[in-house]
């Protein structure tokens, strides 16, 4: 009787169990290039036909299997990458994102006009913000991001990514770009190929502003320009002269502010371009003059 009861119990448990899915092949073949640190860009490659996501957000994957991930200035401590392909076991891996220390400056006793914009400028600022956000939100199939990035201009680095000022006790927006001090009229080149997604000669904070879409949500923004040489919708090649530097907008001196974003995530342009080249190395051998 006991043996019969044991057999009956085993049969009951077996009928309630959920069978594990059968093995369908090796794990998805995935390459990830880049450092898992705040402000970095991770370049991915999977088998054609794969799908991918980052922290639950679907990623665009090119027909060749290319995709990318931008780690924000304040990215959280964990990043989960999931890549799947029909008939292949899913690639699923969590990465630790290293936290960076940023330069924080506190300034007190400033005139209020230097801390808060005048009321009459608020509508203009709001319009500028909407335009820039729309350009950063593009998710086009271009894969210009897959190549290398070059410095759009060569000079003294006067401001770095992630720094922030606290004015009269009020935290201001962090600096999301890298500043390069150069004279007004210096040639500014496209850091990578792409299509112009915004070209505004006079925005309140950033003055002459140019945005280049490199594909899959990665965008370069060039600010405080004196002259724009391309227009919205125009395709540009890496190294092509697209503008002249200036000190327009709320600039305190002549310089170029170069920023890179992945949708709303702000990433470090300096990490993409690498060390600043010597002046003789700045002009590429190819591209439009």
12-44 tens-digit pLDDT: 333 333 233 333 345 568 999 999 999 999 999
> Regarding predicted confidence, which is higher, 27 or 195?
195
Question: What's the whole-number mean pLDDT along residues 77-101?
Answer: 94
> Which string of b and e fits 225-264 if b means at least 16 CB within 10 Å?
bbebbbeeeeebbbbbbbbbbbbbbebeebbbbbbbbbbe
Distance (Å, whole) CA 225 – CA 175: 17
pLDDT of 277 above 50:
yes
pLDDT band per the 50, 70, 90 thresholds, residue 284: very low
The count of other CB atoms within 10 Å of the CB of residue 67 is 25
Q: How far apart are CA 269 and CA 190, in angstroms?
A: 13
CA dist., res. 52 & res. 185, Å (int): 43
pLDDT bin (cut points 50, 70, 90) of residue 222 is very high
> Quick one: pLDDT at residue 250?
87
Average pLDDT of the residues in 92-121: 82
Q: What is the pLDDT of residues 147-188, one digit of tens each?
A: 999 999 999 999 999 998 887 777 888 999 999 999 999 999
Q: Who wins on pLDDT, 27 or 86?
A: 86
In angstroms, the CA 250 to CA 133 distance is 19
Residues 174 and 162: beta-carbon distance below 8 Å: yes
In the chain, what percentage of residues exceed pLDDT 90? 72
Domains of the chain (ranges; CATH) run: 25-96 (2.60.40.10), 104-281 (2.70.70.10)
Average pLDDT of the segment spanning 85-109:
88
pLDDT in tens, 111-129: 666 567 888 889 999 999 9
pLDDT at 61: 98
Whole-angstrom distance, CA of residue 110 vs CA of residue 134: 33
Distance between start and end Cα atoms, the chain: 93
Which alpha helices (H) appear in the chain, and where do they start and end? 2-16, 122-136, 269-273
Asked if residue 8 has pLDDT above 50, the reply is no
Average pLDDT, the chain: 87
Q: With 50 as the cut, is the pLDDT of residue 9 above it? A: no
């Amino acid at each position: 009787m006991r043996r019969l009861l044991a057999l009956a119990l085993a049969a009951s448990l077996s009928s309630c169990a959920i069978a594990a899915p059968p093995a369908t092949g090796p794990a998805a073949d995935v390459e990830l290039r880049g450092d898992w640190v705040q402000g970095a860009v991770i370049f991915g490659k999977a088998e054609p036909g794969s799908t991918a996501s980052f922290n639950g957000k679907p990623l665009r994957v090119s027909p060749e299997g290319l995709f990318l991930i931008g780690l924000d200035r304040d990215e959280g401590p964990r990043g989960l990458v999931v890549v799947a392909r029909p008939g292949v076991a899913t690639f699923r891996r969590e990465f630790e994102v290293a936290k960076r220390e940023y330069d924080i400056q506190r300034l007190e006793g400033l005139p209020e006009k230097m801390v808060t914009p005048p009321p009459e400028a608020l509508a203009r600022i709001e319009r500028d913000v909407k335009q820039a956000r729309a350009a950063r939100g593009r998710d086009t199939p271009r894969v210009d991001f897959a190549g290398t990035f070059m410095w759009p201009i060569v000079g003294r680095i006067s401001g770095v990514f992630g720094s922030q000022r606290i004015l009269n006790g009020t935290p201001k927006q962090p600096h999301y770009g890298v500043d390069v001090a150069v004279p007004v009229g210096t040639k500014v080149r496209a850091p990578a190929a792409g299509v112009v997604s915004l070209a505004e000669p006079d925005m309140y904070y950033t003055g002459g502003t140019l945005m280049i879409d490199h594909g899959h949500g990665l965008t370069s923004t060039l600010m405080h320009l004196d002259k724009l040489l391309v227009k919205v919708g125009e395709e540009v090649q890496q190294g092509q002269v697209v503008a002249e530097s200036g000190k327009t907008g709320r600039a305190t001196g002549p310089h170029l502010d170069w920023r890179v974003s992945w949708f709303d995530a702000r990433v470090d342009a300096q990490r993409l371009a690498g060390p600043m080249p010597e002046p003789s190395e700045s002009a590429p051998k190819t591209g439009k003059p």
